[in-house]
Amino acid sequence: MRALQAHTPGQPFQLRHEMARHIEGFASGDGKHVPEEASVEVLEVRKDFLLMAFVRVTPKGYRPCQGEADRSREVYALFIRKKDDGTQSLAFARDDFDVSETRLFQSKWAQVVFPGDAAPVPVFEVHYQHEATCGEMEGSSWRR
């Protein structure tokens, strides 16, 4: 997390290489679909301590509102994954969570809420006010 946040916002860096330094087997696993060079934005999910983070990855050369190229921007989850053998490891993926939703990063604010009525279940909500760009529809919240 600190390694990602250490980079200048909007400045591409060697993202795939950086993640491979911290996650074993990244280059041949989750990292196959991560752009070689990209900039990142991070939204932390905390409750007393860091639980996970959403990371919007913007590939080098990205230009907004350019049709298909606009879809090359992705949101990944940085989290602890439990392997089949019971061990845990750090993961950076978009498949384990439904994190294709990039609109929460197009907001001036985003707030993580842990609903009191769902205390025994690991559920949280991300509230945001989407600022529509490129003719997109507006949205307001996302629940995991």
The predicted-structure confidence for 57-103, as pLDDT tens digits, reads as follows 999 988 877 765 455 788 898 988 888 898 898 889 887 565 555 67
pLDDT of residue 135: 60
Place of tokens 């679909």: 33
pTM strictly above 0.85: no
Q: Mind listing the pLDDT tens digit for each residue in 102-134?
A: 677 777 777 787 877 756 667 777 878 776 667
CA dist., res. 90 & res. 109, Å (int): 27
pLDDT of residue 144: 45
Q: Mind listing the pLDDT tens digit for each residue in 14-57?
A: 999 999 999 988 888 888 889 999 999 998 888 877 788 889 99
**CA torsion sign, 106 to 107 to 111 to 113?**
negative
pLDDT of residue 57: 92
Contact criterion met (CB below 8 Å) for 128 and 105:
no
User: SS3 for 60?
Assistant: coil
